A and B are shown apart, each in its own frame.
Chain A
Amino acid sequence: MTLFEEGRNRTGPATLSVDAVVVGLGAGGSMALRQLARAGVSVLGLEAGGRHTPAQFNQREDEMLPLLFQDGGGRMTADLAIRVLQGRGVGGSTLHNTNLCKRTPSAILEQWALDYGVSGASAADLERSYAAVEADLSITEIPEDAINGNNRLLQRGVSALGWRGGVLRHNRVGCRRSGFCELGCAYDAKQNAAKILVPQAMEAGGRVFSDARVDRILHDGSRATGVAGTFVDDAGNATFPFEIRAKIVVLGGSATGSAALALASNVPDPYDRCGRGLRLHPGSVAAGIFEQPVDAHRGIPQSYECTEYLEFGRGAEKRVWILTAFAHPIGTASMLPGFGAKHMTRMRKYRHLAVFSAMVHDETEGRVIAGEGGRPLLQYAMTEADRRQLAIGLRACGRLLLAAGATEVTFPAIDAPTVTTDAALNALSMDFIRPHTLAMSAVHPMGSMALGDDPKRSVVASTGEHHQLKGLFVADGSLFPTSLGVPPQWSIYAFSHHLSPHMIDAIKR
């Protein structure tokens, strides 16, 4: 029996019976797959995207964006206001993420217990799982000498202003500091789901189909019984159908994919909760021009953070996380304001640009709905309070850039607001900070099938099992009742690890 089969090579349909089927093999799905395989149950992982190897990662944006990202990197909220970057392929978004690792702040976990009825998920309850992930993925502090030009400027700005900041932690081993993380690592230095967890799952007997898109969760209204879907070819076209019968179904399709699948499958939802509560952790950037080349595209892209404007928990008044952002030419061109010759003149400053980003620890509750063919459609209308936070964050980015020595600071808005001094920055109207006027993006979608013990307010119980459909579990970024305010991968891996004993119990039930 082959443990890994590429669906694109299938020559016919498939029908199988297993104990557990995992849908989507990103951070959460891969962890569930490994834990279930290690528990000795028969488990099959199904991933809609392909199986990619470091040899394919050629560091070209035009080829890697279509290969590694949903919708070729062009996924947007339904109103086209926010670009939402998410991955596809065995490893999911962990293939192209920038490897930062932070735990869920304990104030957030306390808020979940008090306000959202989440039980058994305090910092102490989760410690074992966080520690296991830390060891699995070799999470360590980024070495001081690996801080690149862009991050060095953020560090300089933070220290000049006397603000709070620090060096971040990551999951890389043998990093060559090439700077191409968001296009996949050609040097196989990322300790991600594809490199660590999926092979470990297969060593323990787990099976995987790539290029296998699940279209429906099979159920009888009270119990999940399996999934049905189709294998896809290189171009994503359906080829042969498959049907997998299973005692439990584990959703790992991400905060957008899992809810869309549950909705398209008519999973019972008497309180209309499925898909609601989507958080995006949306952000935008300020770009500073420096006299000396910054070469922000070289070296580890993100290694330093500013937390001056970040607080957690109920009633937090400062809700922005500031860190560096950098892209290669195509990403930079999409972000810089305007078009035509003027835009090109800005692009010529590429090597002299430092870019800082402000991400809002959002309270806006968006919604995932199942669009045409079950595709996730993301509705998200930013609240005024979040808009104000973004304004605070972008002004802070501007101050940091000027404090670090920028000669000019600009924002990616239609009229390209530009300032050269603190006084001008303070006087600048922040009215341009609104959807469709300012370029915004999001890389950390969360929520949409939230945890909690009250079926009226949550989709899955604190065990990860669906309130209405027994045997259906969620193990990905959908679980979180609020934004984390920090990068989510460590928490997604840890929650999937933490909830896996309940999955095993359900199989034995």
Chain B
Amino acid sequence: MATNDAPERPAGDTAGASVGPGRLSRRTFVKAFGAALLAAAGGVGLVRSRGYVKPPGATLLALSASEYAIVSAIASRIAATDGVDMPSAEEVGVARWVDGYVAAMDGPLRRDLLRLLQYVEQLAPTAVGYASRFTRLSAADQDAVLAGMEASRIPLLRGAFGALKGCIYLGYYRDSRTWKGLGYDGPLLGRTP
């Protein structure tokens, strides 16, 4: 498999302000995570340049290959299925959709979301005792990391998890293949309401 040779944005590009799809001010964000975030930002260049697989198909619009891999990993756990009749996040193309969604975001929101992805990849695992990147953990360990964020003692992290979850479900339940398992019959246009 080819490793990523797509151009990566410079690390400074993610030194942003707020968490998408919700917003978190630069001041609040930096205050809350303090040195940990700065450490993450320092590691960004390293993480981005090594060991991420370039996604097949069309060129990415907003995410780098590493960010795409992080979103894919998060989506596969947040939208993990409970049965065979539901498509996987990969089949639905959640990460591709998030790429387009991020491309349409304005600058501050986009920077915040990318910063959050780096947090999940690099720092969130350490918060629950794993010395590894999120994308390299087993599914069960990734679930533990996400559950740790969801129930974190830091309120802002719980809020950030909610924002991330909303974004992933937007990308997943938009696909009509997921509706059947819910019994949702979709838009009524063209039919009698």
Interface residues of A, Cβ cutoff 8 Å to B: 58-62, 65-66, 71-76, 78-81, 83, 176-180, 186-187, 235-236, 293, 297-298, 328-330, 333-334, 338-345, 347-348, 350-351, 371-373, 375, 377, 414, 435-437, 439
Contacts and interface: CB of A to CB of B under 8 A. Distances in A.
23 contacts: A59-B188, A60-B187, A61-B173, A61-B174, A74-B23, A76-B23, A79-B24, A80-B19, A81-B159, A177-B193, A178-B188, A187-B193, A328-B184, A329-B173, A330-B170, A339-B78, A340-B143, A344-B79, A344-B86, A347-B181, A371-B23, A371-B108, A439-B162
B172 A333 contact: yes
B19 to A, nearest CB: 6
A298 B193 CA distance: 8
A78 B172 CA distance: 26
Given A79-B28, A80-B22, A330-B174, A344 B81 contact: yes
Interface in B18-43: 19-26, 28
B101 A79 contact: no
How big is the B interface, by class?
Answer: 35 or more
Contacts of B25: 78, 371-372, 377
B54 interface: no
Interface of B: 17, 19-26, 28, 77-83, 86, 97, 101, 104-109, 143, 146, 150-151, 155-156, 158-160, 162-163, 165-167, 169-174, 178-179, 181-184, 186-189, 193
B170 A65 contact: yes
A303 to B, nearest CB: 16
- With a 10 A CB-CB cut-off, give which of B80, B163, B182 has the most chain A CB atoms: B182
A455 B54 CA distance: 60
Contacts of B165: 334, 339
B81 to A, nearest CB: 6
Nearest to B19: A80
Contacts of A436: 155-156, 158-159
- With a 10 A CB-CB cut-off, give which of A78, A343, A437 has the most chain B CB atoms: A78
Contacts of A377: 23, 25
Contacts of A176: 193
Contacts of A76: 22-24, 159, 163
A393 to B, nearest CB: 20
A437 B21 CA distance: 18
B174 A60 contact: yes
A340 B82 CA distance: 8
B97 to A, nearest CB: 8
A186 B189 contact: yes
Contact of A61 (B21, B86, B106, B170): B170
Contacts of B173: 61, 329-330, 333, 347
A74 to B, nearest CB: 3
Contacts of A187: 193
A266 B79 CA distance: 46
A340 to B, nearest CB: 4
Contacts of A435: 155
Contacts of B172: 333
Contact of A329 (B17, B81, B179): B179
Nearest to A375: B108
A83 B22 contact: yes
A73 B23 contact: no
B104 A74 contact: no
A183 B189 CA distance: 13
Contacts of B146: 339
Given A80-B158, A377-B23, A414-B151, 8 more contacts: A76-B22, A80-B160, A83-B22, A177-B193, A180-B188, A330-B173, A344-B79, A375-B23
Contact of B80 (A177, A178, A340): A340
A149 to B, nearest CB: 13
Leading 4 A-B pairs by shortest Cβ distance: A74-B21, A80-B159, A76-B22, A62-B174
Contact of B101 (A66, A328, A351): A66
Nearest to A74: B21
Nearest to A72: B21
Contacts of A61: 170, 173-174
A24 to B, nearest CB: 18
Nearest to A293: B183
A348 B184 CA distance: 10
A71 B23 contact: yes
Contacts of A177: 193
A345 B82 contact: yes
A95 B131 CA distance: 49
Contacts of B17: 371-372
A74 B170 CA distance: 11
Nearest to A339: B78
Nearest to A234: B104
A73 B97 CA distance: 16
Contacts of A59: 186-189
A341 B81 contact: yes
Contacts of A235: 104
Contacts of A375: 23, 108
Contacts of A80: 19, 22, 24, 156, 158-160, 162-163
Contact of B166 (A74, A329, A371): A74
Contacts of A345: 82
A83 B22 CA distance: 8
A21 B179 CA distance: 46
Contact of B187 (A81, A180, A342): A180
A482 B158 CA distance: 29
Nearest to B80: A340
Nearest to A437: B158
